[in-house]
Structure formats: C-alpha cells, structure tokens
Structure 1
Amino acid sequence: MQVSVETTSNIERHMTIGVPAQEIDQAVQKRLQETARTVRLNGFRPGKVPMSVVKRRFGESVRQEIVGEIMRDNYVKALKEQDLNPAGWPRFEPKTMEEGKDLEFVAIFEVLPEIELGDLSAVTIEKPQADVADADIDTMIDNLRTQQATMKSVKRKCKNKDIAVIDFKGTIDGEEFEGGTAEKHRLTLGSDQMIPGFEKAIVGSKAGEELEIDLTFPEDYHNEELKGKPVKFQITIHEVEEPQLPELNAEFFKKFGIEAEDEAAFRVEVKKNMERELKQAVSNKVKNDVVDALLSSTEFDVPASLVDQEIDRLRQDAVQRFGGQMDFKQLPKEIFEEQATRRVKTGLLFQEVVKKNELTADAEKVEEKIQEIASTYEQPEEVIAHFNSSPEQKSQIESTVLEDAVVEYVLGQAQVTEKAMKYEEAIQAGQTQR
C-alpha cells in the first residue's frame, strides 16, 4: 500500500492510496470461489457451477464489492500509519479501477482541528446570587392552585384572571384579515394573549355586552403585514367565568406527589423543589457564560462533517417532538446550522480543556449526582440501582460531571462576579438558550 497525504486546508486532507492489482485479484478470486460453492443456478447442481459461469454472472458485482471493502480497510490502515484523526467518514474518489491494474483512490476527509485555547483571564462571568423567599413560595403555590382551578359562571363584571367567553371580529380599513375573527373564544384576562389594550378593554364588562374598540398592532408584531396597523375590533361577551381555587389540603398536595398533612409541611417541600430548580438555573446560566467565554476567546475551523451530523440529530429531535410523522430530511438544514455549529465547537473545546488539563469524572461527584437525581423520585433507591447496573446510563452521568469539571476550570481562570437577583430573574436567566 502506497500512501501520500495532501493538506488542502487547515482541516481538510486528500489522502491518495495505491493498492497492488494482485491484492485485488486475489480477493476477487477468493470471493468468487466462495460464491461458486453456495450459489444456486438453474441447470447446475449446488457447488458444481463452473467458475467461468460464476465469473460471467457475478464477476463485476463481486469486484465492485471487493474494491469498496479494500478502499475502506486500506483507508483505516493509512490513518493509523499517518497518525491522522478524522472528524468524520471520508468521500472516496477512485482514480484507477480497471481490472488488472493497481487500484488508486483518493480519500477526502476532515481532521479534528488543532485547538489552542485562548486567554480566559480577561473574561468576565456573571454568577447569579438568589434565594427562595416566602413571597416566591406564595407565588408558586398560587400558580399551582390556579393550575387545578375549576371555573364557575358569574354574573358580575369581569376582572383579571377571569375567563371571558367572547366572539370578536377585527377589521383594518373596514376589511377583515386572516386570524382576526373567532367565536366562543375563551380568553383569560390579564394573560396578555392578545395585542395591548384588547384585554384591558374587556375588564369591567359583563356577559351580554357588546364592545367596539380601536387599537394598533405593535411595531414588533410577528405578522409583518399587520405591524403598526390601526385595527377595529367588535367584541361580544357571552359569559364570564371565575376560577375556583382548590383548598390547600392533603388531597391537593398529593396531586403534586407530596405527602403532607398541612400547609406548613407542603411549603417545606415546595421550597425544596424551588431550591433545586434555582440551583439548576444558576448552573445553566454559568455554563452558558463559560461556553460563550471559550467560544469568544478561541478561534478554530469547524469540521463541516461534524456540523452536518449534529444538524441531522437536531432535525430528528425536532421531528420526534412533533409526533414523528415526517422524514426529518424534509426540515431545512439551514434552520439548525447555527445551533449545530455552536454545539460542535463547544464539544471540541470541552474535549480540549479535558485533555490539556487531564480532567476526570470524580467518582464521588458521580455518586453525588446520581443521589441528587434519585432524590426527585418516589423510590430513590430503585433509581440509584438502575444507574449502577447500567453502564450506559452511568456513562452519561460521568459525562455531565466531566462537563462540570470543565466549567469549574474555566471559572478558576476567568473573572467571576456575583449579581444579586430575585428568584424569578435567576430562573429566567437559566432558561435562556444560546
């Protein structure tokens, strides 16, 4: 096998490989002999088909099969010989394939980039500092009660948090527009589902009333054709419903998987859950900032093959989220390109930090992470046993712990500032996706 490598860019390589004709011919002959022993053809007994017939019938397809196998095998050998680390599978371009001649082909592929980590000492990372206050617990319990509320029809004037059952028709310059008309629409007042001013105009009205209001679509409205346009709505109020909040009792508590006899005990459990969410939100926010710091301080070429693989994963995930009723390839690749590129660059940067600093997944921290996950389940001991008996599941936890180690390393290099936040602010900061 003869090998030569041409560097066509920082990460692309063209590797030309030559394989002697004798190697091809011997492999083809051996495969044809195997075929002759097993093939069934009319007019011949099994195993008695003449080699000339076998070659005439199967020679071309067998040769193509053998050439494909030899190209793959020799490509793998050449990688080891040349000490190359490919980023994905190559594209093969045969140069000579004629029978009786040496095989020569080019493997075109990308290698993993050489990454020189940038200076992180000037990077500033903001870490939220927040606590779960009594008022936050009150708000959370109110939200939980609202989720379980039943509705009761009332004759009074409507107010925020009521549901108004309405018909509405919107017109612009006297003409109706798409999406501007509905019947028996259930609108929660104060939810800001409609454009500014719509819900406020209904508050204070009663069932049976008809309203006519003039509003203006916001300049940042999602429909380009309606941005900034004046609109007139005719509204008929059919019914007003008032939420009936459930009592705070053991039956209500059980709906959220909490065994508690009174409100005080329920509040303790709600606070624990909120503190877990807060901790995760802070962790997410800091990790996003760490990723941003690594990306902004380090420049390198990203293998397109890895980005394409990640795009396909994102497309498959998107299809599954929407019920899996279509081929993921129908989704445009461009929609996912930016996110996929960020993910690939992040993965390569994290790998480089791990390698350069010889970071490992600490066994104690792996166990702590498993215990933390298990604590959110009703039978934590079963969850722990599941992780400990499943190498694949445990490996995922080890990867998470290793990512945490990278984050801690970067935090140790960067300038970390703390920012006081309210609970909701910190939760929202941790939910921001980049």
Structure 2
Amino acid sequence: MATAVETLGKLERRITISFPLTEVRSEVEKRLKVQAKTAKAPGFRPGKVPLKMVAAQYGYQIETEVLNDKVGRAFNDAANEAQLRVAGYPNIQPKEDSPEGVLTFDATFEVYPEVVVGDLTTVEIETVKADVSEAEIDKTIEILRKQRVHFHTKGEAGEHGDGGEPVAANGDRVTVDFVGSIDGVEFPGGKAEDYPFVLGEGRMLPEFEAATVGLKVGEAKTFPLAFPEDYHGKDVAGKTASFTITLKKLEWAHLPEVDAEFAKSLGVADGDVAKMREDIKVNLEREVAGRVKARNKEAVMDALVKTATLDVPQSLIAQDSERLAEMTRQDMEQRGMNVKDVPFPQELFAEKAERRVRLGLILSQLVGENKLQAQPEQVKAQVEDFAQSYEDPREVLKYYYSDRRRLAEVEALVLEENVVNYVLGLSKTSSKVVAFDELMGSNAQA
C-alpha cells in the first residue's frame, strides 16, 4: 500500500509505502524452501539440509532481497499510478514508528522538471566559418617536414652540406653539461650531463637558451638566471641562480626536401607532390569542418541554456558528477598514472555535470516536441563520414554496427546536430570568419 504523493519542494516528492510483516515472512519462507532444494552443508546430501540451517545461512540475504523486491515494486506501481516521471533513484528509508506487524518505508525522490524553451526566433547566435588556403597547406607541410628532421654535426661536410659556421643558433640541437647554484650552493635538479635540446623550441628558460646561442663545441659560459615566481620548482621559484654551461655537441637540422620521396613518405604511392598537397587540403578541410561544427554547436548550446527555464534535479547532477569522476579516473589510469588512492570529490565535477544535465533535459524537450530523433539514414551517413579517413571504411562500418553502444554514441551526435540545425533555422544568426590558427587552437565542447 502507498500513500498519496507528498510535495516537499519544487521537484522533491515523497511516497510512504507499507505492507504487512506477514507478507514478507511468507515470501521469505517460500524462497528458503526453494533454496533448500539445492543447499549444501557438511554432513548432508544436497537438498537434504534442514530448513533451520538453510535459514541461518541464507535468511538475511533472502529477507533483504524480498524487501528490496516488494518496496521497489510498490514504489514503481505508486509512481506509475500517479503518472510521475521519476528522476534518478529514490532514497528509501524505513520508518521507526511503524504500527505493529506492519513494515513502513519513506521513498523520497525527485521528478523531472517542466522545461520551458523560450522563443527561439528572438535568440541571436553568432556562428563561425573558416577556409583552408594555400598558406595553411604550406604550414602543414612545414610541420610534417619538421617531424621528419635529421640532425648532422654542424660544420662537418656531409651529403647535405655542413650546416654553416659551427656556432650554436636557433634550430640547432645542442648537447650540454650544466650546473647551477644559488649563493654558491648547488641545488637539486640544477645539474646535468649530456643534456640535449633544440634551441628555439622553448624547452629551456629564455636566459638559458640565450646564453647557449653563439657557443662553439668545448666552450663554456657562466650567466645569471632568474627563475619565475610561478616556476614549477618551488625551492628555486623567484630566486636567481648562477649557471655554467659547456657545449659538448652541436648539430644542425636538415629538413627533407618537398619532393617525390617526401610525398611517398606521406602515403602518396606515385610520389606526386600535387596529389600530396590535395590530400593535405582534404584532411585539413575535414578537420576545419569538425572544428567549425563544434564551435557552432557550442554557440547553440549556450543559447539554449540562457533561453530555457527549468529546475535541474540534484539527483541527476550527483549521478553525472559520479560518472565524470569515474571517467576522469579511467582516463588518467590509461595514461599510466597511479590514481588508485587519489580521491575524486564529486564537487569538482558538479558545475560541468549541472550543465550537461540541463542541456540533456532541454534537448530531450526539443527532440520530443519537434520530432528531431536521429533517423537510420542519418546515422549511416555519419558513420560513413567517420570511415572516410580510414584505409578500410568497411571495417569502420562493422566496428559501429556490431556494437549497439557504439551506434548509440553516433545516434546521440546526429540528434545533437538535428537540434543545432533546428535552432539555427529559427534563430537570428550572424556569421564571422575566424583565422585558421585561431580555430585549430580552440577546443570547443558542449
């Protein structure tokens, strides 16, 4: 039996559930008899263990199962009868003042809120677009060349030349010994032998690189170095040290020529440089399209959050915070970090979880009202788009369609895109061109 629904707050409700103790005892006894048919105990044949022994061994477990089943069924029946959309899981607690012979429980829970999406025709959204020019292709080629760099002893004649005067300059790879001290005392981490780095890449502090430039092999130099206040080494942060560096090895960077061999190294079988550039352009355009789509989706989601009115169930925020915490832990473990004993307070994820839940409720409302569900042909087109960048597209199709969970992820993406297109079709939109470098440096996420 369940009482009428009590309203405790905007979304919080309570239902009191009760049933005779005799019902529980009767069900427990039935299950114990079933358990006794297969129960084992020393000195008894299977199925011949006395019922009292079976009750002593399994009674608590079975009683708990019976209570969970009865309370859960009674709560679901009451919620369905009251036509409630329960958000999250109910908090069920026994009542101490139950009448004799009756078990009573309070089920406290939240319901899904009413979602009111504002007038989308009045919403202003700024979208972005970007183009891939020859300059971007050139920049990408330079990056690819640097990834395939070879270093040769500077000043020593070879197949590609001698690299010029044997003096350290930006772009050269140097190998040095160095020792640092503060007030005449060496400090931990301030000394190394045969330490390599490339000048100009910013791996070392600016004063360190500046002191290295101009040195020849065998030369040494002493110079002051002021550590920044926010330097990661707290023992030396904000202090000035005296460093002595000795150049032991000097190499110049030889970048491969942009020729047929270079094109072949990038997968162009016939070495056609023009085809290589076209392939790079296609890949860049695909990446740009993805970034543009992400930025525009973020703009739409921001607009929906500002426009829609709703109360967000705290139970759903707590669940999503827990989910985000676990995802973060798994991600760090996959990166090789030992976080077994590291706490992940859910409070750290509450703000992000609140936004995710809020958006989920808004999107659900829009999808239901406007029939924006992902259609099978849309899902297939999205998977085929994913497959374009792989050598064997058929394997990609098989990867997604062989696992319902993977396919559900694609469906969610398509659904979001349907919502984005729907909102952009109604709202007041403007568009601006963003620089390629700015777009590629962004990391928009909804």
TM bucket by the smaller chain? Answer: 0.7 to 0.9
Task: Look up the match of 2:140.
Answer: 140
- The answer to whether 1:281 aligns with 2:291 is yes
Task: Look up the match of 1:359.
Answer: 372
Task: Look up the match of 2:277.
Answer: 267
The letter of the residue matching 2:324 is I
> 8 Å contact 2:322–2:346 — kept in the other structure?
no
Distance 2:177 2:204 in 1: 13
Counterpart of 1:301 (choices 306, 312, 322) is: 312
Task: Look up the match of 1:72.
Answer: 72
Task: Look up the match of 2:13.
Answer: 13
Judging changes above 3 Å, is the alpha-carbon distance between structure 1 residues 167 and 120 closer, same or farther for their aligned structure 2 residues? farther
Q: Give 1:130 deviation, angstroms.
A: 1.9
Q: Give 1:165 deviation, angstroms.
A: 1.4
Q: Give 1:106 deviation, angstroms.
A: 1.7
Judging changes above 3 Å, is the alpha-carbon distance between structure 1 residues 40 and 316 closer, same or farther for their aligned structure 2 residues? same
> 8 Å contact 2:318–2:350 — kept in the other structure?
no
Distance 1:203 1:326 in 2: 41
Instruction: Name the TM-score, length of structure 2 as normaliser.
Output: 0.84
- The answer to whether 1:347 aligns with 2:360 is yes
> Which of 133-142 and 16-25 deviates more?
16-25
> Which of 409-418 and 278-287 deviates more?
409-418
Q: Give 1:175 deviation, angstroms.
A: 4.9
> 8 Å contact 1:97–1:103 — kept in the other structure?
no
Distance 1:396 1:354 in 2: 16
> 8 Å contact 1:10–1:301 — kept in the other structure?
no
Judging changes above 3 Å, is the alpha-carbon distance between structure 1 residues 29 and 390 closer, same or farther for their aligned structure 2 residues? closer
SS for the counterpart of 1:200 is helix
Task: Look up the match of 1:91.
Answer: 91
> 8 Å contact 2:264–2:271 — kept in the other structure?
no
* Pairs within 5 Å for 1:409-424: 409-424=422-437
Task: Look up the match of 1:375.
Answer: 388
SS for the counterpart of 1:207 is coil
> 8 Å contact 1:86–1:112 — kept in the other structure?
yes
- The answer to whether 1:404 aligns with 2:417 is yes
Task: Look up the match of 1:312.
Answer: 325
Task: Look up the match of 2:158.
Answer: none
SS for the counterpart of 1:38 is coil
> 8 Å contact 2:268–2:275 — kept in the other structure?
no
Distance 1:433 1:219 in 2: 32
Distance 1:288 1:209 in 2: 55
Q: Give 1:332 deviation, angstroms.
A: 4.1
Task: Look up the match of 2:108.
Answer: 108
Distance 1:9 1:41 in 2: 52
Judging changes above 3 Å, is the alpha-carbon distance between structure 1 residues 339 and 19 closer, same or farther for their aligned structure 2 residues? same
Distance 1:58 1:141 in 2: 70
Deviations 1:232-258 (A, max 9, x none): 433222212222223445554454444
Deviations 1:24-44 (A, max 9, x none): 122112112213333234555
Judging changes above 3 Å, is the alpha-carbon distance between structure 1 residues 166 and 364 closer, same or farther for their aligned structure 2 residues? same
- The answer to whether 1:235 aligns with 2:248 is no
Q: Give 1:2 deviation, angstroms.
A: 1.8
Instruction: Name the TM-score, length of structure 1 as normaliser.
Output: 0.86
> Which of 245-254 and 283-292 deviates more?
245-254
Distance 1:361 1:105 in 2: 41
Gaps in structure 2 of 5+ consecutive residues? 156-165
Percentage of identical aligned residues? 36
Deviations 1:347-400 (A, max 9, x none): 333223222332122444333322211110112234335445554433322221
Distance 2:402 2:287 in 1: 27
Task: Look up the match of 1:194.
Answer: 204
SS for the counterpart of 1:3 is coil
Distance 1:423 1:432 in 2: 15
What's the Cα RMSD here?
3.2
> 8 Å contact 2:300–2:424 — kept in the other structure?
yes
SS for the counterpart of 1:417 is strand
